[in-house]
Amino acid sequence: SQQGEEDPQALSIQEGENATMNCSYKTSINNLQWYRQNSGRGLVHLILIRSNEREKHSGRLRVTLDTSKKSSSLLITASRAADTASYFCATAPYGGAQKLVFGQGTRLTINP
Amino acid sequence: DGGITQSPKYLFRKEGQNVTLSCEQNLNHDAMYWYRQDPGQGLRLIYYSQIVNDFQKGDIAEGYSVSREKKESFPLTVTSAQKNPTAFYLCASSSQGAGEQFFGPGTRLTVL
- B96 and chain A: CB distance < 8 Å anywhere? yes
Interface test with A, best of B49, B74, B90, B100 (most A CBs within 10 A): B100
Residue A42 burial by Cβ neighbours in a 10 Å radius (0-12, 13-18, 19+): buried
Q: Characterise A47 by phi-psi region: left (phi > 0), alpha (psi -120 to 50), beta (else).
A: beta
Residue B92 burial by Cβ neighbours in a 10 Å radius (0-12, 13-18, 19+): buried
Q: What is the pLDDT of residue A1?
A: 44
Percent of chain A with pLDDT over 90: 87
Percent of chain B with pLDDT over 70: 97
Q: What is the pLDDT of residue A110?
A: 97
Instruction: Give the residue on A whose Cα is nearest the Cα of B105.
Output: A42
Which pLDDT tens digit goes with each residue over A13-38? 999 999 999 999 999 999 999 999 99
Whole-angstrom distance, CA of residue A18 vs CA of residue A78 = 5
The residue among B29, B30, B12 whose CA lies nearest residue B21 is B12
Which pLDDT tens digit goes with each residue over B54-108? 999 999 999 999 999 999 999 999 999 888 999 999 999 999 767 899 999 999 9
